[in-house]
Structure 1
Amino acid sequence: MKKYPLLFSLFSPVVWAETVIEHNTDPISFERHSQAVKFEQNVVKNSQKPTAYQPAYSFNQNVEQQINQAILSQDWATLEPLLSRYPQTENFDPLLWHYAHAALAYAKKDHQTAVFHYRQLLAKNPSLVYPRFDLALILAEDQQFRAAEQEFKAIQAHLPPELAKIARNTQAQIAEIEAWQPDFYLQYTQTDNVNNASSSPIVNVNGRIFRKNADSLPQSAKGVRYGLGLSKFHNVKGNHFAGLTLNYSGIYYWDNRDYREQSVSVSPSYSYRTADYRVAFSPFIEQNWLGSSRYNVQFGATLNGLRYLNSQWLVSGSFTHLQKRYFEELTASRYNSYQHQLSGGVQWQAVKNGRFFANLNGVREIAREKAQSSNKWLARIGAVFQGERWATQASIGFGKRYFADKHYLFGYKRLDTEYQANLSVWNRTWHWRGIVPKLNFRYQKIDSNIADFYSRQNKEVFFTLEKLF
């Protein structure tokens, strides 16, 4: 029997907010687990090395041979009816029955049932090494790391060299997953609209023309975006995990320091993780600076999850409640607010090295000044492709933002239409100590019915250096 090391997919909850800087716009890494267990059941002796339970008797040879053959050939449609009548046969072997049910359950990706039957088998005969080894792999694949380690520990002195190596590799993967995970990115950026201003030099208020001063027009800036994060999660018991994420990020403009930004955030989390789905709850708090002054503080909580429908399809969703508090008194009197953010997404693994994704996000913001309250939705579609050397990721987005009350100057409600485009290209062979250079293009355009104030566009072509740990 040939065994394979496990491949684990990680999902780290990210607080989605309107002002977030996405240095990696791929929301979720779509990587299904490789099959950790290949069941082999042989009654008769042959040259192939057995890797699991073998019945000690040869009674009911015909039914047992059929069950064994069905397992070896992975003929699950045949196995199921065989198991239903096997308990009525003479000299029924409960160990074989539990083992076959475990194989059938695992084929259906029903990890819970597979674990149940393995535990029943081992309760009857605790000395069986190979079933306990397979149980440990299934537990690890189902994210039950502590239970998997207990099973490995119980048989580590009895495993043959090739299986001992797989056990050590799996335990090393678990230790690596639960270690502190660093994240780093650095980006040179140049923009001609750092203040997100409309390029119109005038404001037409019901026929009255006002001319903007220089500070109200788009301003250019050059600098770097940067980010450093640390995250960790730990399997406490069963499928229950505790986690912590720390992030520090910002933008440093050396020729327009008034628009420098810094952000520090802390987010503990609880998650329930299995091979097929994840659910996580993450409270958070974030402090932001603009220039050299504290700008606002944001806090709230996110509930999110994902589910693998099969080897090709993944769905995800999240809900966030967010509170914003500004430090400047006049700004706070208008913009202090709370938000409800709802998002959903789907990914399709169309080919081995390529996938498509689609996301729909909605935000309801209630601000102190009713004219600043709004409802917003944004839809985005994209694709990721990774060849042997080159990889690319592209997405486009479209959205609307509806404001709740009339603008204080213009006397009618503001309505914004948003367009987005993102493109990243990188060579998978170009890296140094895990640092990968990427060429990026980002475009954003907002068409507002109050164009003189709020219509704007931003185009950026920039390099990033991202650390892949």
Structure 2
Amino acid sequence: MRASLIAALLLLGAGSVAHAQSSPCEGGDCQLRLTPAQLLASAERLVALRRFDEARPLIAALKLAPGYTLQTRFLTGLIAAESGDFHAAADQYKAILADDPNQTRVRLELGKAMMAMGKPQSADKQFRLAGQDRELPPELAKAIRGVRAVIRQKRAWRLDVDFGIAPDSNINNATGVDQVTVNLGGYSLPLTLEDNARARSGTGLTATVSAGVRLPVSQNLSMLVDFDGTGSNYAGVDYDDYLVQFAAGPEFRLSQAVSVSIEAVGAQRWYGGHLATRQGGVKAGAQATLGARDRIGLQLDARRTVALFNHGYDGWQTGLYANWEHALSRSLVGSVGLFGRRDWLDAPAYSSKEAGLSLAVGGELPHGINFSLSGTGSRAVYDAAVPFFSNDPRRDWRWSTRATLGNRKIRVFGFSPELSVTYARTSSNIPFYSTDRVRFRAALARYF
């Protein structure tokens, strides 16, 4: 090691070692002492000159100096990337970002490594976060936007998977009251609900899969094919809940910053071991990037539902969603959403109008921690009364909050742990429809 270190230092030239402390040669063995800062400068120059074999012993020596972990990881990653070992390079960059997610240069290098590894979606995420740095030179910010546009045009597929356990205070999403008042023959009578009509708690196994394929047709036209599936399995089958959805259609890129898409949609849901609903329809969307820190989106979803459990729920369901996303910092993103929904169902008592607002913030923190906080509030008004419960139409206030915490630094066969808690409450003028639900979820997630 000493001989290699001396040889590497001698090859740097007088300019690199002018300030180094040296001692006389004794017995043909010369010693040269460098401060950590001088050692770092020497290693960086060797890496820039692609003299990696000579740089490695300097980097190894620099690891012994306190406070230089980031620099040694970065140089090690650069050498690995330039040597073609992009997996090793990505591991070094991820370790740096886990401790400090605000390292823009490191994020750019990680994006390049992900591209080389054939993971354009992961690369696009890194370039998007890097592009939020306000201190980026304009020409570099423009280059990042251009690279992201190319990625979007060529991105072929995505796959996200997670599975875990979910303790739930209300697995049947039922009322929390023990007694309701009903109308019978012009009389109001109090009735005590049976156990299976009230909220039940339980712990289930859960899993979600989200996949998509994007097939370029021409320079500004691509075909999208998406699949989403989610499921919850509890003891027995009474409250098992599974949903699958397919969507396919074209996406048109109107400019580097604006795109629109339209997809045919089909979905099926199974509940309690039986097929509960079938859906078919269309969803259309548009999104635009506004500068380096803002993005807006609009989506219309309209589908026809066939409810096999009760044909009074057959009919059309439509929703319009608008969202504004803003980069709060290089690693934090906030969003505001507005939505409106209209259900035209065969039974007027089940048809409704709903409007609401959602807020969310999320991003990366030091030590590999990812988090998100979100909340939604809405008002729903139904078209007609359910005479059995009330002479007035149903009116609900609906609230939900969700907090998620994960750690990408911890990996089990490529999966990272994720914890979430969701609270949902419906306050209705008809007590039977008032619900409370708290759901915890401990899962392992992987984003390919």
TM-score, length of structure 1 as denominator length: 0.63
- Partner of 1:258: helix, strand, or coil? coil
1:388 to 366, 369, 383: 366
Q: Give the fraction of aligned pairs with identical amino acids, expressed as a percent.
A: 17
Tell me the residue number matched to 1:467.
Answer: 446
Contact 1:262–1:289, Cα closer than 8 Å, also in 2 = yes
Match status 1:443 vs 2:423: yes
Name the aligned partner's letter for residue 203 of structure 1.
Answer: V
Report what 1:200 is aligned to.
177
Paired residue for 1:366, among 336, 344, 356? Answer: 344
Which residue of structure 2 lines up, in the alignment, with residue 277 of structure 1? Answer: 258
2:198 is matched with which residue: 197, 217, 220? 217
- Matched residue, 1:267: 247
1:32 is aligned to 128
- Cα offsets for 1:36-68 (capped at 9, x unmatched): xxxxxxxxxxxxxxxxxxxxxxxxxxxxxxxxx
Alignment of 1:267-346 (within 5 A): 267-273=247-253, 274-328=255-309, 331-332=310-311, 334-346=312-324
* 2:130–2:330 CA contact under 8 A, matched in 1: no
Determine if contact 2:163/2:444 at 8 Å carries over to the other structure.
Answer: yes
The 1:335–1:138 alpha-carbon spacing in structure 2 relative to 1, beyond 3 Å, is closer
Letter paired with 1:210: L
**C-alpha spacing 1:197/1:338, structure 2 compared with 1 (3 Å):** same
Q: Distance in 1 between matches of 2:141 and 2:447?
A: 34
Matched residue pairs, number?
Answer: 323
Task: Tell me the secondary structure at the aligned position of residue 183 of structure 1.
Answer: strand
Matched, 1:186 2:163: yes
Superposed counterparts of 1:349-364, under 5 Å: 349-364=327-342
Letter in 1 for 2:195: A
C-alpha contact 1:192 1:221 (8 A) present in aligned 2 = yes
- For 1:402, the equivalent position in structure 2 comes to 381
1:292 Cα deviation from its structure 2 partner: 2.1
Looking at structure 1, the residues matched to 141 and 404 of structure 2 have their Cα atoms a distance apart, in angstroms, of 37
Matched, 1:457 2:428: no
Per-residue CA distance 1:317-364 (angstroms, 9 max, x = gap): 100111110224xx01x1102111000011110111112111111100
Map of 2:216 onto structure 1: 235
Aligned to 1:120: none
33 and 201 in structure 1: CA distance in 2 versus 1, 3 angstrom threshold: closer
Change (3 A) 1:138 1:431: closer
Question: For 1:182 and 1:144, how far apart are their aligned partners in 2?
Answer: 16
Aligned partner of 1:347 in structure 2 is 325
Q: 1:425 aligns with which of 405, 421, 428?
A: 405
Shift of residue 141 of structure 1?
4.5
Please say if residues 213 and 226 of structure 2, whose CA atoms lie closer than 8 Å, have aligned partners that are also in contact.
yes
| Change beyond 3 A, Cα 1:236–1:463 | same
Give 1:358's aligned amino acid: V
CA contact (8 A) 1:232 1:244 kept: yes
Match of 1:47 in 2: none
CA distance in 2, matches of 1:388, 1:417: 37
Q: How far apart are 1:30 and its partner, in Å?
A: 9.5
CA distance in structure 2 between the partners assigned to 1:30 and 1:246 by the alignment: 24
Q: Which runs of 4+ in 1 moved over 3 A?
A: 2-11, 28-35, 106-109, 137-146
Report deviation, 1:227. Answer: 2.0
State the one-letter code of the partner of 1:196. N
User: Structure 1 residues 437, 388: closer, same or farther in 2, change over 3 A?
Assistant: same
Q: Distance in 1 between matches of 2:268 and 2:394?
A: 29
CA, structure 1 residues 444+423, in 2 after alignment: closer, same or farther (shift >3 Å)? same
What do residues 166-190 of structure 1 show as CA deviations (whole Å, max 9, x unaligned)?
xxxxxxxx4xx31x42221113112
Aligned to 2:396: 416
How far apart, in 2, do the equivalents of 1:258 and 1:202 lie?
A: 23
CA distance in 2, matches of 1:257, 1:278: 43
Structure 1 CA distance for aligned equivalents of residues 127 and 301 of structure 2: 25
Give the partner amino acid of 1:288. Answer: R
Please report how far the alpha carbon of residue 139 of structure 1 lies from its aligned counterpart in structure 2 after TM superposition.
7.2
- Asked if the contact 1:358–1:380 (Cα under 8 Å) also holds between the matched residues in 2, the reply is yes
Question: Which one has the bigger strand percentage?
Answer: 2
Q: RMSD of the alignment, in Å? A: 3.0
Q: Deviations over 1:55-99 (max 9, x none)?
A: xxxxxxxxxxxxxxxxxx98xxxxxxxxxxxxxxxxxxxxxxxxx
TM-superposed deviation, 1:34: 6.7
- 8 Å CA contact 2:170–2:437 kept in 1: the answer is yes
Q: For residue 307 of structure 1, report the CA deviation from its aligned partner.
A: 0.8
1:138 to partner: Cα distance: 8.6
How does the TM-score come out when normalised to structure 2? 0.66
C-alpha separation in 1, matches of 2:287 and 2:306: 31
Query: Equivalents in 2 of 1:240, 1:270: separation in Å?
Result: 7
**1:142 counterpart = 2:143:** no
Distance 1:29 1:279, change over 3 A: farther
Q: Is the CA contact (8 Å cut-off) linking 1:144 and 1:238 kept in structure 2?
A: no
Q: Distance in 1 between matches of 2:170 and 2:443?
A: 20
Instruction: Give yes or no for contact 1:223–1:251 (8 Å, CA) kept in 2.
Output: yes
Matched residue type, 2:416: V
The code of the aligned residue for 2:241 comes to: E
Q: Is the 8 A contact 1:371 1:408 kept in 2?
A: no
> Could you list the per-position Cα deviations for residues 283-339 of structure 1 after superposition, in whole angstroms to 9, with x for gaps in the alignment?
1111221122211101111101211111111111100111110224xx01x110211
